[in-house]
Amino acid sequence: MELKTKIKENYSKILENIQKACEKVGKKPEEIKILGASKKQSPKKIRIAFDLGIKVFGENYVQEAEKKISELKELPIEWHFIGRLQTNKVKKALELFFLIQTLDRIKLAKEIQKQAEKKNLIVPVLIEVNIGKELTKGGIDPDKIEEFMEEVKKFDRIKITGLMCLPPYEEDPEKVRPYFAKMRSLFEKLKPYMNSEFEELSMGTSNDYHIAIEEGATIVRIGEALFGKRN
């Protein structure tokens, strides 16, 4: 099957699932941002997805992203960084990305502040929460999120616009629901102490995005379910 047709079919299925999930909880599908998680996917596939209507894409590695972003520079894509960001890559990341979804340590916040001052930027970020408390993953321990956010608020070049998580992978997406529910309640708990721009909850990937939407996601990061297998 032609690549374009396949991605179009995938996208239709995703839209259908989003519609169903939204109906269940009284939301509008247009309230949900679909982020094309394009790690190891070709510029050609990204272009097809963009033409279908996806305007936000996420990359995990600064170097890989730089090449793609330059190849697709004529498209008005909103690029998000969704991987673990090393401090030595911050300078370049701020040139490439509109939003950093994975702020999870003060050392990184300091570097973002420093580079943003040099470039005279305000940088929107999401705070990554390690909702499953997994040793192998980045993210702030949910029990320490409040003190972490108080620290980050001191950096005037950083604008916290929401939370992000990558819960433990489960074959059965229903098993991930409690993690999403916990993220939602964390988000609700923090919201009164934040400014009005604190509105994004980025959670849910190809396997479980419909559950994430039911539990309050505003951004879902979809890779293989959209593009097919990585190159």
| Distance, CA of 209 to CA of 11 (rounded, Å) | 13
Q: Where are the beta strands (DSSP E) in 166-226?
A: 200-202, 219-222
Whether the pLDDT of residue 229 is over 90: the answer is no
Report the share of the chain in percent with pLDDT over 70: 99
Question: Tens of pLDDT along 200-225?
Answer: 999 999 999 999 999 999 999 999 99
Token pair 């996806």: residue = 54
| Distance, CA of 37 to CA of 58 (rounded, Å) | 5
pLDDT at res. 222: 98
Bridge-based pairing state of the strands 78-81 and 99-103: parallel
What pairs with residue 160 in β-bridges?
A: 125
pLDDT at res. 127: 98
| Distance, CA of 229 to CA of 116 (rounded, Å) | 36
Domain extents for the chain? 3-227
Distance set, CA 22 to CA 16, 27, 32, 62, 218 (Å): 10, 5, 9, 33, 11
Question: Tens of pLDDT along 110-148?
Answer: 999 999 999 999 999 999 999 999 999 999 999 999 999
pTM above 0.75, yes or no: yes
| Distance, CA of 69 to CA of 179 (rounded, Å) | 33
Query: To the nearest whole number, what is the mean pLDDT of the chain?
Result: 97
pLDDT at res. 230: 80
| Distance, CA of 94 to CA of 109 (rounded, Å) | 12
| Distance, CA of 126 to CA of 131 (rounded, Å) | 14
| CB distance 125 to 161 below 8 Å | yes
Whether the pLDDT of residue 231 is over 90: the answer is no
pLDDT at res. 14: 98
Question: Tens of pLDDT along 141-177?
Answer: 999 999 999 999 999 999 999 999 999 999 999 999 9
Question: What does the pLDDT average to over 16-39?
Answer: 98
At the topology level of CATH, where does 3-227 sit? TIM Barrel (3.20.20)
